[in-house]
Structure 1
Amino acid sequence: MTPTRTLALLGFLLLAVAPAFAQTTLPAPASSVPTLEAVTVSGVQPGPGLWKVKRGEHTLLILGTLTPLPKNMSWQTAEIDDALSHTDALILPPKVEIKPNTGFFGRLALLPSLIGVRNSPDGKTLQESVPPDVYARWLTVKEKYIGDDRKVERYRPIFAVLELYKSAVRKSGLARSGGVTRTVMDLASKHGVKQVPVEYTLLVDDPRAAVKSFKKSTLDDVSCFAQSIDNIDAQLADMTARANAWATGDIAALQDDRTAKQRITCMNAATDSGVAQQIGLTDVPRAVREHWLAAVDAAMASNTQTIAIVPLDDLLGGNGYLSALKAKGYSVLAPDEGD
């Protein structure tokens, strides 16, 4: 495991409850997301449509992405293809990198401290880290989705949950959806559209000390752990429903309050720790949002039409990017709303 990956590991919950669902790049033809195994919907589907943001004569179209998505589904890209043919720029999904602020030899010196970063401090097992009733419920869902994996019993509760969700998604008939972004980027290249990255890099000055401090520290992650194992079955059903809603363009069904509440609980467990505050992880969501809004302001000032790709969980909700755009004076129309 590289130093950069390990530092990213410490900040994983800033982006999602279960980064098992993080996007991966898949090879995709120019007209569809790769065909995958069936859940509920299958065949060619329209996708969610595009949010329209306007100020004067300038327009921003936003494609909200979701992961996981149904297997055995092909996404009909005619709408986004046509929009890109009249577009000046494509704003790519926000990207966060957490890197050690050291040279090559400093990174080499960091490597020995990375071993066991997921494990509970003082060698505690999950059985020793969580209440007996919570552990009993954990054993039930672990048997169902993970099976006999003794390694995970040494993990911190929050990392054990990640393994649980990875395995559960693999068994649920859902699939990662990085092909959506890849397809849009390929279409943009076909039309000669400028692609604008939105990247935020957090440099950690003393990564070795941060990793050592994290390994010794405790996280208030029992609530996250308990809520996650109690919700796993219902949440998989919610994921399937949202995936089908994305595929069929059902905007109203894309909200997911259960996941939003659980995400907040787990994010608080990660960001309230002293180590997270020490290296600046608590500021990352705000900084990323500001970077994205600045990219939108710049694009709207100079382009007649711009397209942006944004994960739905960042887009929706009271603190989402759409609300921030409205607060800045932009008019925002959902895909199912008329002009």
Structure 2
Amino acid sequence: MRLRLLAALCLTLNLSAALAQTEAAPPAEPAAEAAPETILLVGQRPGPGLWKVSKGDHVLWVFGTYSPLPQKMEWRSQQVETILAQTQEYLGPPGASAHVGFFRGLTLLPSLIGLKKNPDGAALKDVLPPEVYARWQPLKAKYLADNDDVEQERPIFAAEALYSAGLKQAGLSQGGEVEKKIAGIAKQRKIKQTATVVDLEIDNASKMVKDFKKSQLADAACLDKTLARLETDIDAMRVRANAWAKGDIEVIQKLKYPDQERECADAMTSGEFARNTPAFQNVKQRVRDAWLAAAEKSLAANTSTFATVRMSYLLGPDSLLAALKTKGYQVDSPE
């Protein structure tokens, strides 16, 4: 059994989402003008088509997941279900997680108390630039009016709480439901499931937690970018969510937004506690290498493999699909 530590760190020693977003995110520019389409699609939606990676008669089908998505959207794709019925292996999404043994994890619970708080009892107003704190206050009042404890938290945790509340109020969720449903179909059909997540082995988790509590994080920029995202991008989030639901990848690629995920991931992985923990070195590259290795292995072994991967891993010149193409595989985009 595992105790996820970065889940305890609110980005919760589960770096999957942050790492996925930093891989091929759009440039951090002000949001493009959102189209007037701000009504979220609900009901049953198929999402985008599948990328086809092949060599000879061996095929890897890749389904691009996305976040955020409409809360009330029910995902269903006949194409995905048909392909899964013929698939020998399902590859889980790339990511990283840290864990310790269950009983060792229980001993950490007392030390996790106060983990989110700023060192030395500081409040947000003490650690943020005045202009950032001034922008924080109206958004806090709008999305976290009943949460006064957040004022004592580190900026990176305050940013996460604010962003989640903002999405909820906008009728959006951070996703995960589509991946869970596909994994459930694979399990129901008794398809071999292969995790591609990199395990971050922590030799001394108790010391890491103590180091984190004392460590300063350069996370004011994380909150700054999160504020900008909520100030400028809510309508565009709805447009991108609708575009994914309709399978319109071109719209997703065109709409740019302030990239708070990159800033927040960098704040966590560049902190002193992370630099002193060998397991946290070169995580991004290790995640990329692990997924590519699993993809090549499955392509060699199976006539049909299915994978779910965050869309940000699949778009752009440095994407996982571009890497497979460089290795000699045929890569065909959805029609």
Is TM-score (shorter-chain normalized) higher than 0.5? yes
Which residue is 1:46 aligned to? 46
Deviates more, 1:163-172 or 1:237-246: 237-246
User: Cα 1:319–1:266, aligned 2, differ >3 Å: closer, same or farther?
Assistant: farther
Please, what is the CA RMSD of the aligned residues? 2.6
Which residue is 1:83 aligned to? 83
Which residue is 1:15 aligned to? 16
Question: What does residue range 1-339 of structure 1 map to in structure 2 within 5 Å?
Answer: 4-10=3-9, 12=12, 14-16=15-17, 39-100=39-100, 104=103, 106-255=104-253, 257-259=256-258, 261-279=259-277, 280-336=279-335
CA drift at 1:60: 1.0
CA drift at 1:7: 4.0
Cα deviation per residue 1:238-266 (whole Å; 9 max; x = unaligned)? 3222211111010112235425x332222
Cα deviation per residue 1:97-150 (whole Å; 9 max; x = unaligned)? 2113x672x434423221111111111000000111111110011111111321
CA drift at 1:334: 1.6
Once residues 208 and 130 of structure 1 are traced to their aligned partners in structure 2, the CA distance between those partners, rounded to angstroms, is 28
Overall identity of the aligned pairs, in %: 39
CA drift at 1:233: 3.1
User: Cα 1:252–1:127, aligned 2, differ >3 Å: closer, same or farther?
Assistant: same
Deviates more, 1:206-215 or 1:177-186: 177-186
Which ranges of structure 1 fall in alignment gaps of 5 or more residues? 20-37
CA drift at 1:307: 1.0
User: Cα 1:3–1:59, aligned 2, differ >3 Å: closer, same or farther?
Assistant: closer
CA drift at 1:173: 0.7
Deviates more, 1:119-128 or 1:238-247: 238-247
Give the AA of the match of 2:306.
I
Give the AA of the match of 2:168.
R
User: Cα 1:47–1:128, aligned 2, differ >3 Å: closer, same or farther?
Assistant: same
CA drift at 1:296: 0.8
Provide the TM-score with structure 1 as the length reference.
0.84
Once residues 215 and 62 of structure 2 are traced to their aligned partners in structure 1, the CA distance between those partners, rounded to angstroms, is 40
Report the 3-state secondary structure (helix = DSSP H, G, I; strand = E; otherwise coil) of the residue aligned with 2:276.
helix
Give the AA of the match of 2:93.
P
Once residues 200 and 230 of structure 1 are traced to their aligned partners in structure 2, the CA distance between those partners, rounded to angstroms, is 31
User: Cα 1:186–1:230, aligned 2, differ >3 Å: closer, same or farther?
Assistant: closer
Report the 3-state secondary structure (helix = DSSP H, G, I; strand = E; otherwise coil) of the residue aligned with 1:93.
coil
Report the 3-state secondary structure (helix = DSSP H, G, I; strand = E; otherwise coil) of the residue aligned with 2:92.
strand
Report the 3-state secondary structure (helix = DSSP H, G, I; strand = E; otherwise coil) of the residue aligned with 1:94.
coil
Once residues 102 and 42 of structure 2 are traced to their aligned partners in structure 1, the CA distance between those partners, rounded to angstroms, is 49
Kindly indicate whether the alpha-carbon contact (under 8 Å) linking 1:39 and 1:70 is maintained by their aligned counterparts in 2: no
Once residues 185 and 268 of structure 1 are traced to their aligned partners in structure 2, the CA distance between those partners, rounded to angstroms, is 30
Kindly indicate whether the alpha-carbon contact (under 8 Å) linking 1:39 and 1:174 is maintained by their aligned counterparts in 2: no
Kindly indicate whether the alpha-carbon contact (under 8 Å) linking 1:8 and 1:98 is maintained by their aligned counterparts in 2: no
Kindly indicate whether the alpha-carbon contact (under 8 Å) linking 2:15 and 2:95 is maintained by their aligned counterparts in 1: no
Kindly indicate whether the alpha-carbon contact (under 8 Å) linking 1:157 and 1:221 is maintained by their aligned counterparts in 2: yes
Deviates more, 1:234-243 or 1:306-315: 234-243
CA drift at 1:174: 1.3
Kindly indicate whether the alpha-carbon contact (under 8 Å) linking 1:18 and 1:165 is maintained by their aligned counterparts in 2: no
Once residues 189 and 72 of structure 1 are traced to their aligned partners in structure 2, the CA distance between those partners, rounded to angstroms, is 24
The total of aligned residue pairs comes to 314
Report the 3-state secondary structure (helix = DSSP H, G, I; strand = E; otherwise coil) of the residue aligned with 2:213.
helix
CA drift at 1:17: 5.0
CA drift at 1:281: 2.1
Kindly indicate whether the alpha-carbon contact (under 8 Å) linking 2:19 and 2:95 is maintained by their aligned counterparts in 1: no
